[in-house]
């Protein structure tokens, strides 16, 4: 049987693809932790989704592959429902399998029968999975190939033949109605040894032990002279317990077919012995019967149990490894479906291969906001794109005007799209990024040693050293923790350096002068340009809409002044002034 070949519906072309892990701070800045919590309440599933979606590659084949799988799972709710039910059954088999039993006793025939039951249940799960995946509406390469993988696994494991053998074995074993034991006794009629005489397909008519014994000794005719038995009974004494005569014979027959054809299964085996019970002698007859059968079938049980365990475990491992990947798609499909029912728009993203345009988003919005909204009322949609003339955006606008929301929304679009998930927009075309880097204000306790400005500089240099022209960089109020002169000087040099690398960037800042100096920075002619992006202001009211335009001046200062009541008008209208 072939071992797991690493099939995946999430990570195709695994040997050719390089993935980059988003930093913990980037995941937090983008709101991925909150998003995962909104998708599922299960902490394990949250960690699973986070681990998958935070690994990014710029190879467009991966995104396209995932998107088609997700489209199938989103469009086929019955497939989701049936697969979840099967996964629950498989998980139950794994968690409560007798193969995981811890015992000091030698596991024998009855344990084997339970293992066969489990394998039979598992085979039925695999067959049901084949039925689920046979839906003619499945179009994605990933699910079609997974169906082929399941079929190959089924054939390679000889599950069809094993299922038939299990049925025959269970049918024969179910015919066992009684067992005849031979018991040696001493002068006080105490059992000193016990052996199996026969396995029968009919029950005894009289079950009273005392009356049977009385019947036997009341007539001298019923007491047999000597200990010779009719038939092929061979009674092995206790001092020959380790004899290999019987087990050697069965071992020579070997395998599953031996079990099918042994006289035991046919109800006529006549050999083996066990030690006599301590204490009450026959009090644990059932226990000793198990021991009798185990001794008789020791070799064949060992071989068959090994085969059953190997096929069951390898097969279950192969299927179980794909379950988390299905859960990733299923939980996202349920989440997207719930939000679509509330009226929110989602679209299937499209990868593009263009030397100029690297993103064109229409009607995008921040999915984090939608999570906490019961309807689309109040949601603001924006259009935004990256191309050679708009590679770096210097985003300015009024305080609390939505700059961080737009910055974060852009990052989420790439994360979701490259994770194969429909994105919150009317349309979204993009060139995948190799990683997303964020530079948001750090917590106070992280700036104790270097100070805020020092920490920001160190962190920016680390990001700059690893980002590429295929990266996405999101800067939120970077270098704004010092005086304007110092912050502006560092920010301007940083933008010039980013232009040299050609990194797609949104720089959310209150330094309007930085946006005003864009023409000067673009004059260096690095092949790409920066542009001023503003949060529009409609008659003094925040619109939360973005527009490529020159900065609107000191709107931030005016907001702050109004907030704290220090405009000229607010100061001088006070009484007694």
Last residue of a domain, one of 288, 319, 350: 319
So what's the pLDDT on residue 500? 93
Q: Are residues 263 and 163 in the same domain?
A: no
The answer to whether position 205 is within a domain reads yes
**Closest of 121, 116, 117 to residue 308, by C-alpha:** 116
Pairwise CA distance, residues 103 & 105, whole Å: 5
3-class secondary structure, 36: helix
Pairwise CA distance, residues 428 & 344, whole Å: 15
Q: Are residues 356 and 485 in the same domain?
A: yes
Q: Are residues 183 and 163 in the same domain?
A: no
The answer to whether position 498 is within a domain reads yes
pLDDT digits (tens, 9 = 90+) for 387-446: 999 999 999 988 777 899 999 999 999 999 999 999 999 999 999 999 999 999 876 545
The answer to whether position 31 is within a domain reads no
**Closest of 423, 405, 406 to residue 414, by C-alpha:** 423
So what's the pLDDT on residue 365? 96
So what's the pLDDT on residue 262? 39
Per the CB < 8 A criterion, the answer to whether 423 and 416 are in contact is yes
Pairwise CA distance, residues 399 & 542, whole Å: 9
With tokens 């002034």, the residue in question is: 577
**Closest of 201, 186, 340 to residue 266, by C-alpha:** 201
Q: Are residues 141 and 222 in the same domain?
A: no
The answer to whether position 21 is within a domain reads no
Which stretches does DSSP call E strand in 485-529? 504-508
The answer to whether position 401 is within a domain reads yes
Q: Are residues 150 and 184 in the same domain?
A: no
So what's the pLDDT on residue 11? 93
Q: Which domain holds residue 112?
A: 58-171+306-319
Pairwise CA distance, residues 414 & 474, whole Å: 12
Which DSSP string corresponds to 427-453?
Answer: EEEEPPPS-EEEEPPPPGGGSTTTHHH
So what's the pLDDT on residue 243? 40
Q: Are residues 66 and 200 in the same domain?
A: no
Instruction: List the structure tokens of 519.
Output: 């023409």
Q: Are residues 350 and 212 in the same domain?
A: no
Low-confidence ranges of the chain (pLDDT < 70): 1-6, 96-115, 157-158, 162, 165-166, 168-176, 194-196, 204-317, 443-450, 539-540, 553-560, 563-564, 574-577
Last residue of a domain, one of 296, 331, 351: 296
So what's the pLDDT on residue 215? 61
Instruction: List the structure tokens of 223.
Output: 């007491």
So what's the pLDDT on residue 104? 39
Domain with residue 542: its CATH number is: 3.40.50.300
3-class secondary structure, 270: coil
Per the CB < 8 A criterion, the answer to whether 425 and 345 are in contact is yes
The answer to whether position 16 is within a domain reads no
Instruction: List the structure tokens of 246.
Output: 């019987």
DSSP-H helix ranges across 510-554: 512-516, 518-522
The answer to whether position 368 is within a domain reads yes
> CA torsion sign, 116 to 122 to 126 to 129?
positive
Q: What is the dihedral of CA 559, 564, 569, 573, to 10 degrees?
A: 160
Q: Are residues 467 and 533 in the same domain?
A: yes
Burial group, residue 509, by CB count within 10 angstroms (0-12, 13-18, 19+)? buried
Q: Are residues 89 and 219 in the same domain?
A: no
**Closest of 556, 488, 546, 542 to residue 520, by C-alpha:** 488
Phi-psi category of 55—alpha, beta or left, where left has phi over 0 and alpha has psi -120 to 50? beta
So what's the pLDDT on residue 540? 62
Structural domains counted in the chain: 3
Q: Are residues 454 and 497 in the same domain?
A: yes
The answer to whether position 444 is within a domain reads yes
So what's the pLDDT on residue 214? 58
Per the CB < 8 A criterion, the answer to whether 36 and 50 are in contact is yes
Last residue of a domain, one of 296, 330, 363: 296
So what's the pLDDT on residue 354? 87
How far is the first Cα of the chain from the last one, in angstroms, to the nearest whole number? 93
Pairwise CA distance, residues 337 & 73, whole Å: 11
pLDDT digits (tens, 9 = 90+) for 533-569: 998 877 667 778 999 998 876 555 666 677 667 777 8
Q: Are residues 181 and 165 in the same domain?
A: no
Q: Are residues 194 and 292 in the same domain?
A: yes
So what's the pLDDT on residue 169? 63
**Closest of 126, 176, 183, 195 to residue 155, by C-alpha:** 126
- For residue 438, what are the β-bridge partners? 474
């Amino acid at each position: 049987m072939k071992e797991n070949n690493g099939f995946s519906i999430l990570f195709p072309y695994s040997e050719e693809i390089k993935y980059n892990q988003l930093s913990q701070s980037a995941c937090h800045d983008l709101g991925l932790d909150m998003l995962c919590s909104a998708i599922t309440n299960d902490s394990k599933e949250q960690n699973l989704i986070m681990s998958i979606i935070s690994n990014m590659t710029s190879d467009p084949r991966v995104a396209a592959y995932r998107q088609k799988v997700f489209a199938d799972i989103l469009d086929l709710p019955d497939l989701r429902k049936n697969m979840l039910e099967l996964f629950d059954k498989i998980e139950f088999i794994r968690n409560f399998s007798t193969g995981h039993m811890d015992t000091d006793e030698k596991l024998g025939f009855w344990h084997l029968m339970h293992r066969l039951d489990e394998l039979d249940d598992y085979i039925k799960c695999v067959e049901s999975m084949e039925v689920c995946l046979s839906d003619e509406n499945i179009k994605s390469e990933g699910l079609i190939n997974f169906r082929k993988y399941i079929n190959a696994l089924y054939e390679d494991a000889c599950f069809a033949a094993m299922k038939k053998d299990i049925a025959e074995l269970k049918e024969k074993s179910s015919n066992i109605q009684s067992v005849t034991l031979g018991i040696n006794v001493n002068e006080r009629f105490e059992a000193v040894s016990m052996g199996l005489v026969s396995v029968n397909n009919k029950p005894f008519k009289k079950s009273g032990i005392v009356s049977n014994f009385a019947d036997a000794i009341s007539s001298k005719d019923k007491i047999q002279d000597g200990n010779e038995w009719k038939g092929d009974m061979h009674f092995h004494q206790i001092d020959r317990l380790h004899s290999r005569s019987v087990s050697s014979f069965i071992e020579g027959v070997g395998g599953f077919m031996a079990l099918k054809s042994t006289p035991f299964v046919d109800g006529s085996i006549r050999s083996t012995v066990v030690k006599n019970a301590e204490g009450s002698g026959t009090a644990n007859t059932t226990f000793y019967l198990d021991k009798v059968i185990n001794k008789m079938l020791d070799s064949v049980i060992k071989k068959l149990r090994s085969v059953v365990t190997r096929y069951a475990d390898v097969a279950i491992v192969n299927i179980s490894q794909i379950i988390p990947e299905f859960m990733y798609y299923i939980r996202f499909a349920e989440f997207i479906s719930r939000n679509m029912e509330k009226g929110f728009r989602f679209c299937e993203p499209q990868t593009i291969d263009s030397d100029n345009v690297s993103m064109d988003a229409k009607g995008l919005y921040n999915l984090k906001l939608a999570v906490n909204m019961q309807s689309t009322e109040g949601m603001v949609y924006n259009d935004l794109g990256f191309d050679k003339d708009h590679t770096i955006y210097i985003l300015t606008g009024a305080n609390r005007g939505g700059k961080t929301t737009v910055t974060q929304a852009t990052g989420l679009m790439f994360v979701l799209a490259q994770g194969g998930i429909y994105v919150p927009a009317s349309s979204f075309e993009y060139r995948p990024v190799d990683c997303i880097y964020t530079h948001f204000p750090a917590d106070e306790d992280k700036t104790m040693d270097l100070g805020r400005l020092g920490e920001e500089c160190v962190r920016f240099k680390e990001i700059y050293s690893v980002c590429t022209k295929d990266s996405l960089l999101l800067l939120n109020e970077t270098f704004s923790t010092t005086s304007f002169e110092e912050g502006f000087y560092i920010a301007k040099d940083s933008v010039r350096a980013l232009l040299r690398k050609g990194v797609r960037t949104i720089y959310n800042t209150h330094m309007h002068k930085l946006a005003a100096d864009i023409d000067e920075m673009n004059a260096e002619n690095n092949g790409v340009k920066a542009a001023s992006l503003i949060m529009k202001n409609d008659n003094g009211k925040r619109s939360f809409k973005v527009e490529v335009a020159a900065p609107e001046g000191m709107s931030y200062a005016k907001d702050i002044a109004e907030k704290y009541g220090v405009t000229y008008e607010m100061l001088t209208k006070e009484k007694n002034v």
